[in-house]
Every structure is written in C-alpha cells, then in structure tokens.
C-alpha cells in the first residue's frame, strides 16, 4: 500500500495539480521568500498618485500575461474602528505595512479574509466568490452578490483597482494573488499571511486582520468566543478524545488525504480531542504536500482511522467512490465510519477560523455522531 506523494492542491470543488507547489485548499509555493527591505505604505494616497499607481499596476499585469504561456449574526463581533488606533504598522511575511487611517473600503481576496472581516463588521466593497456556492458566499457569512465579484483563483487587477480599496486583505488568498503582491501593493496596502501561505492558524490571522482594521478588541473577542465554543464542544463530546481521523477528497479516481499534522485543518480537528491517522501521517513528510495522494489500491488506509471524512468532486463522483470494490470492502464502510461530507463543510475545514467555528462545530456534531456515541 504505497502512497504516491504529490504536490496537490485541493480547491473548493476542484483539485489542482501543481508540480512545484505544496497542497492545501489552494495552490501555494513550497517556500515563502521574505521580501527585503520591509516597506511602509500609506493607507490613503492623493488622487494623482493613486491614479498613477493603478495605471502602473494594470500595465505590469498585462505585460506579465502577455509574456507567459498558457446564521452569521451569532459570529459577528461589532466594534467601530477608532481613529486613535491609527496609524498602525502591521508585520507579515512580505514585510511591513503602515495604515495611516481607519479603513472604510475593504477588499478581501481569500475566503478567510472575507469571513473574518465580515464577522468584525467591516464594510467590504469587494470579495472573492465561492464557486461552489449558489450565492457565492463562504461558510459563516452573508454578503450581497454585488460584492462577491472577484474570482477566487485568478486576480483581475483592473477590477480590484476599480473598487478603490484603502486596504486589501490577502491572508488566505490563492497563490496567484500572492504572486501579485507587489502589483496589488501599488493600489492599496496589502495584509498578507504571517509566516507561510495558508499555514497560519485562523486565530493568528483574525488578530492580524483585527489590528489592520482597527478592530483589535473585536478580533480578540472573536478568538476568545471561538476557543470557548471549542472547549465546550470537547468537554461535551468526551468519546472523541484520542479518536483518529482521515480527512481529504476523492476526485478523478484518486484519494487525497491530509497528512501534515501542522496544517490548520489538522490542528482544528486536534483541538476537538482527535488525532490524525498515524498511517496517513507516516506517508507524508515535511518536504512533501500537506495532502498525500493514494490510488484505489491504497484506499485501505482509510481503515486505519476511527472516522474518515471524504468530500468528492465531479458529477457522479460520490456514487463512483462508494461503489469502488476497494471502498465497499472497507471495514470503515461497513461500520459507517466512512462519511462523505459536502463541499460546504469540506471548504470550511480547509481553513478553519474563529468566524466559522460555530458553523464547523454544528456540522461536525452530526458528522462525528457515530464515533461520539461509541465507547472509548
């Protein structure tokens, strides 16, 4: 039962194969290079400078393209941004950004960015759209369709510039947005991830975003609220303690399982008292993708977990997956420990954060009901 280790990126309803990238919900680089020296940017530029920056940004992107081939209210913590919180300097993986005045026009380029900013009660003028959701919203938030106009994977620099943002949140944005950091920075200050793309905890990014938006108190309250909800869930579900899980996606005849213990998804599930399957973890190394690729002959690894949570992608993929001989013959299938989860839950698990904690705990209660009823 050999696991083929691959650089695979699990998207919302899509699996992206990226030969030089590591896996998680989106494609992202193996290593993150710090850009030197750190920069300081003003939150607002004068009209002349902004127009020049936007024109320059669009020109850069067009040149690059030519040159290349091919119920939310419960989670919302309200706080008004105060002027005395500014200027504020925020440090992230790309350096430093100084925001001079309280932002009033926020653009969110990642699902977590939109969820967190929405939970903090910010005015969002533009956000990436969830391609798997009929209304374009991500779990745990409700934004109008006219706000959800940006593609979740491919930057449209001209569209972003037209939104006239005074801050751009990109802590959980797709890799292509991260590559466009320099260009986006010419439009407005960009708040990027802290250490590595899509590897920071949701708590860390909530506090980072709260600082940038002048809502540090609300962000801290949201984190405390989420941690309390997790603690309550764990204490009320004692039978989950020490139970092992396997989590991933089936697509195109291949199974992708999370094997990286430091991954935010794994850390969230561990916070509920569970642990990753040791067999799946052993198949992954620090130098490979977070998700490990298995062919049908290796699907028996699902039996090494007390509960397996698998989403599927593609028309008829659920039926295809469950009808495979290597799946029907699993002990976990017969004992109903193999659970096919929908894309909404799967996408929320890919980047758990305080704004989606209540949603996740509510859905996980149902998913883990069988294991929870079982004796220790």
233 lies in some domain: no
Distance CA(112)–CA(51), nearest Å, equals: 29
Q: Is residue 3 part of a domain?
A: no
Indicate the residue among 207, 228, 249 that finishes a domain: 228
How much is the pTM? 0.79
Domain of residue 309 covers 8-25+238-373
* Residue 262 forms part of a structural domain: yes
CB atoms within 10 A of CB 91: 12
How would you class 308 by CB atoms within 10 Å of its CB: exposed for 0-12, middle for 13-18, buried for 19 or more? Answer: buried
CATH number at 174 reads: 3.40.50.1980
- Give dist(CA 73, CA 162) in Å, integer: 30
Alpha helices, DSSP H, located in the chain: 47-66, 111-119, 157-162, 175-179, 181-184, 202-212, 216-236, 264-271, 278-282, 317-323, 325-328, 331-334, 343-350, 357-367, 369-373
Could you tell me whether strands 15-17 and 8-10 are parallel, antiparallel, or unpaired per DSSP bridges? antiparallel
| Top-confidence range, 42-46, 83-87, 138-142 | 138-142
CA–CA separation, 244 and 275 (whole Å): 5
Report which of 341, 257, 243 is spatially closest to residue 298, judged by C-alpha positions. 257
- The answer on 360 and 308 residing in a single domain is yes
* Residue 1 covered by a domain: no
Instruction: Give tens-digit pLDDT for 306-330.
Output: 999 999 988 899 999 999 999 999 9
pLDDT digits (tens, 9 = 90+) for 201-219: 999 999 999 999 999 999 9
Q: How many domains does the chain have?
A: 2
Q: What is the pLDDT of residues 135-153, one digit of tens each?
A: 999 999 999 999 999 999 9
Lowest mean pLDDT among 13-17, 125-129, 141-145: 13-17
Last residue of a domain, one of 228, 256, 279: 228
Mean pLDDT of 323-352: 95
H or E element: which one contains 92? strand 88-92
Which residue would you say has higher pLDDT here, 60 or 149?
149
Q: Which residues of 261-275 are buried (b: 16+ CB within 10 A; e: fewer)?
A: bebbbbebbebbbbb
pLDDT at 371: 65
Is residue 312 located within the same domain as residue 179?
no
Which has the higher per-residue pLDDT, 275 or 9?
275
On whether both 103 and 155 belong to a single domain, the answer is: yes
Q: Tell whether 115 and 141 lie within a shared domain.
A: yes
Residues 81 and 216 in one domain: yes
3-class DSSP assignment, residue 243? coil
306 within 8 A of 243, measured Cβ to Cβ: yes
Residues 68 and 192 grouped into a single domain: yes
**CA nearest to 355, candidates 169, 227, 226:** 226
């Amino acid at each position: 039962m050999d696991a083929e280790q691959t650089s695979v990126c699990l998207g919302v309803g899509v699996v992206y194969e990226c030969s030089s990238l590591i896996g998680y919900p989106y494609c992202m680089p193996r290593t993150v290079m710090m850009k030197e020296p750190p920069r300081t940017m003003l939150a607002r530029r004068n009209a002349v400078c902004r127009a020049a920056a936007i024109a320059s940004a669009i020109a850069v992107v067009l040149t690059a393209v030519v040159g290349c081939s091919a119920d939310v209210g419960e989670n919302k913590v309200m706080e008004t941004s105060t002027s005395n919180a500014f200027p504020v300097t925020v440090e992230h993986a790309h350096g430093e950004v100084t925001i001079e005045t309280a932002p009033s026009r926020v653009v969110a380029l990642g699902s977590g960015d939109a969820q967190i900013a929405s939970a903090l009660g910010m005015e969002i003028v533009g956000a990436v759209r969830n391609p798997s959701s009929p209304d374009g919203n991500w779990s745990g938030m409700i934004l109008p369709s006219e706000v959800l106009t940006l593609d979740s994977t491919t930057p449209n620099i001209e569209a972003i510039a037209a939104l006239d943002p005074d801050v751009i949140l990109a802590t959980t944005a797709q890799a292509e947005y991260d590559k466009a950091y320099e260009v986006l920075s010419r439009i407005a200050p960009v708040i990027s991830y802290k250490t590595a793309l899509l590897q920071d905890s949701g708590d860390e990014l909530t506090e980072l975003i709260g600082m940038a938006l002048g809502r540090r108190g609300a962000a801290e309250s949201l984190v405390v609220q989420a941690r309390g909800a997790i603690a309550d869930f764990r204490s009320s579900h004692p039978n989950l303690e020490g139970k092992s899980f396997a989590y991933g996606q089936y697509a195109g005849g291949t199974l992708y399982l999370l094997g990286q213990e430091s991954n935010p998804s794994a850390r969230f599930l561990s916070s509920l008292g569970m642990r990753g399957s040791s067999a799946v973890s052993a198949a992954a190394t620090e130098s490979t993708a977070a998700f490990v690729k298995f062919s049908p002959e290796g699907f028996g690894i699902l039996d090494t977990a007390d509960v397996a949570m698998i989403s599927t992608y593609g028309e008829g993929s659920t039926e295809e997956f469950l009808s495979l001989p290597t799946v029907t013959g699993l002990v976990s299938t017969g004992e109903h420990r193999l659970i096919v989860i929908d894309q909404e839950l799967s996408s929320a698990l890919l980047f758990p954060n305080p704004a989606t904690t209540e949603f996740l705990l509510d859905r996980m209660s149902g998913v883990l009901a069988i294991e929870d009823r079982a004796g220790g």
